[in-house]
Structure formats: structure tokens, C-alpha cells
Structure 1
Amino acid sequence: MNKTLLLLFHPDLSRSKANAAMAGAAAHLPGVEVVDMVSAYPDGLDIYRDGEREAARLLAADRIVLQFPVQWYSTPPQLKAWQDAVLTRMFYITYEAEGRRLEGTPLMIAATAGNTADAYTVGGRNLFPMADLLAPLRATAHRCGLDWAEPFILYQADKLSPEEAEAAAANYAGTLAHWIARSAKPMA
């Protein structure tokens, strides 16, 4: 098995330029499954009832990508609800059966931001570097024993022309393909 699970957390994918293009490009890569988590759980609450199914989805993957737009210096609420429902279950309630088995799985963050890269610097308009804003996710990965990969960040995502969005999506797919190849487990 060589499966990459990409969980997409965009509050309104129909209005997205970058995340929609990125997810579409990723879906064309061999072994990549893209799941629109907002469509799967439109009210956000069902995810708590489907914790076992979501845990099984993670355990069936060789690597995980969490893709989302940065909103007010954080993740969208659907991603936080997913963490609360699924990771809490796996690492605090059913650790021996689920959490322990997920440890060592590679994790990549793919985030889009509306501002420029310069805005995400010390002293920039947003005051903090993107790495600082993603620190809670990195801490979560560490706590869960997931192998943290260098995040893919796309700046000015809502300002891209269709051609620029397509080029960014191709760059994302190339980055994912390279990461997948590097993190693939040797066949026994």
C-alpha cells in the first residue's frame, strides 16, 4: 500500500481559487485520496459520532496531508473539531488500539494565506512568521508521534489569477509527489 490521505478543510470550496485548484491537482497523483471534510460533515457535529470511521481512515493511510486556508491566524473551525473528535479519541481514549498504530505516520500541512510572505515576518503586518502560527499543529504532530514534514504554504491565495492558481497547484502537486516518494516505505 502507498496511500496518501489528504483531508481538505475549506469552509466554502465553491468560492476557493487556490485550495480547489490544489486539491484537484493532488487528486490526480497516484495513491492520493482527497476528502472534502466540510462536505463530509456539513454541520461539523457528525464527526464526533464518526470517530471510529475517521480513525480507520487515518490508519489506512501511509501519510496524511491537512490542507486548509489560514483564518485569523489559525485553522478553520472544522479542522479544530476534527482534532478534538478524532485525535482525542485516538490518543486519549483508544490509544493502544488506534493512536499507537498511527505513530510514525508522516504529516504535511498545506496552508493558504491571503497576505504576502513578507506580512508573515517579525515586524510584518501579521507580526508572526507562518511557522509560529503553525506551531500548535507541529506540537500536535509531536504529541501524536507523527513525522512533521516541511509545510507547503501558498501566499496571496485569494489574489491569484486563474493561470497563477493553476501554476501554484502544479507546484503543490510536484511538492507532494516529491514528499510521497521520499516518505514511501520500502516494499517488503
Structure 2
Amino acid sequence: MSKTIILLFHPDLSRSRANTALARAAAKLPDVEVVDMQSVYPNGIDLHRDGEGEAARLLAADRMVFQFPLQWYSTPPLLKAWQDAVLTRMFYMHYEAEGRVFEGTELLLAVTLGNSADAYRSGGSNIFELEALLAPLRATANRCGLAWSSPFVLYEAHKLSPEALEAAAAEYVDRLAEWIASTPSRNEEVA
């Protein structure tokens, strides 16, 4: 069985219509697990206390999605803390047993933004293109041997009407289903 895990990093999911709608829609897909990381780690994540459990969660999955709002041109603090705790453990402390096994896993970002797409273009009000702002995550994926996929991006997420948000959630589900169908399962045995 192929499993996709969506690690949802939002500081307060109860205040995000967009991330809530995307997560609820994605959770309806077969073999997709959505984990609200802020509810799991309301007081932060620790390498020694939480790293082993998170590594086990990742190693049980075939594909991984980071879903998050881009805030002040960066990821939410918990995503960075999660990277520091979990990836440090897997790729520096337990490489042979965890990091090496996790290499080759497919990674997709699902990013919500408050601004328009034009703001993230060359010459836009944010100066940098979205690709440049996501470069640290792409570099991390490269360092960890993860297969990078083109991100799913939802602009002006907080301004969407209920109908537009429903359409965006359906688009997200379609993208996930297509991505899952087209990417190899890391944990399937080769006959």
C-alpha cells in the first residue's frame, strides 16, 4: 500500500479558511494522511524528545507534502524547527538507518500566500520571485536526496470567496491525485 503524508504547518489552523479547506479536501483521498503539526507540537519540537517518532512517521510514508502559508517570505517557525530536529536526526545522527532509507522520497510543497501572483514575479512588489523564496526548501530537498516536485501554490488565499476556495481545494486534490499516480512508491517492493 502506498501512503502519502501531508505535514501541515500553520501556526493557527482555526484562523485559516484556505489551509483548512485544502487539508480537509486532501484527507478524503485514499492513503493520504494529513497531520496538523501545530496541534501535535503546540510547545515546539525537540530533536531528542520527538525526532525518533517523526523519523518513523516519515519512513512509513512513500511521499511527503509540506503544506504551509508563506509568512514574511519564509516558512512558519515550526516547519524550520521540525527540519532542524527531524532532518538533523535522520541525515546526520542516524544516516544509515534513516536518512539513506528516506532518500528518493518525493516531496511536494503546497503553499498559500496572501498576495497576488504578480507580487511574486520579477519586478513585483516583493522583489523576489516565489521560486527564490522557496530556494532554501529546494536546497534542503537536494541535500536530503528528496525528489523535488513543482509546488502547488494558492495566491490571495485569505481573499477567496467560498466558491473560489472550494474550486482551489478541488484543484489541490486533482494535483495531489495526479502527483501520487505519477510518482514512484518508495516503500513498494520490486518483484
Give the TM interval when normalised to the shorter protein.
over 0.9
User: Are positions 1:139 and 2:146 aligned together?
Assistant: no
CA RMSD between the two structures: 1.2
> Which residue identity does 1:170 align to in structure 2?
A
User: Per-residue deviation at 1:45?
Assistant: 3.5
User: After TM superposition, what 4+ stretches of structure 1 lie above 6 angstroms from structure 2?
Assistant: none
Task: Describe the superposition over 1:110-153 as per-residue Cα deviations: whole angstroms up to 9, x where unpaired.
Answer: 00000000000121011111111000000000000000001001
Tell me if the contact between 1:103 and 1:144 (Cα under 8 Å) persists in the aligned partners: yes
Residue-pair matches, total: 188
> Which residue identity does 1:151 align to in structure 2?
P
User: Per-residue deviation at 1:181?
Assistant: 0.2
Query: Normalized against structure 2, the TM-score is what?
Result: 0.95
Structure 1's 147 and 40: CA in aligned 2 closer, same or farther, altered over 3 A? Answer: same
> Which residue identity does 2:18 align to in structure 1?
A
Question: Which blocks of at least 5 consecutive residues in structure 2 are unaligned?
Answer: none
Tell me if the contact between 2:45 and 2:85 (Cα under 8 Å) persists in the aligned partners: no
Instruction: Give distance in 2, aligned partners of 1:90 and 1:45.
Output: 15
Tell me if the contact between 1:91 and 1:100 (Cα under 8 Å) persists in the aligned partners: yes
Query: Normalized against structure 1, the TM-score is what?
Result: 0.97
User: Are positions 1:118 and 2:100 aligned together?
Assistant: no
Percent of paired sites with the same residue: 69
Instruction: Show the counterpart of 1:23.
Output: 23
The 5 Å alignment of 1:172-187 reads 172-185=172-185
The residue matched to 1:50 in structure 2 has which SS? Answer: helix
Question: Which blocks of at least 5 consecutive residues in structure 1 are unaligned?
Answer: none
Instruction: Give distance in 2, aligned partners of 1:130 and 1:38.
Output: 24
Instruction: Show the counterpart of 1:89.
Output: 89
Tell me if the contact between 1:41 and 1:47 (Cα under 8 Å) persists in the aligned partners: no
User: Are positions 1:60 and 2:60 aligned together?
Assistant: yes
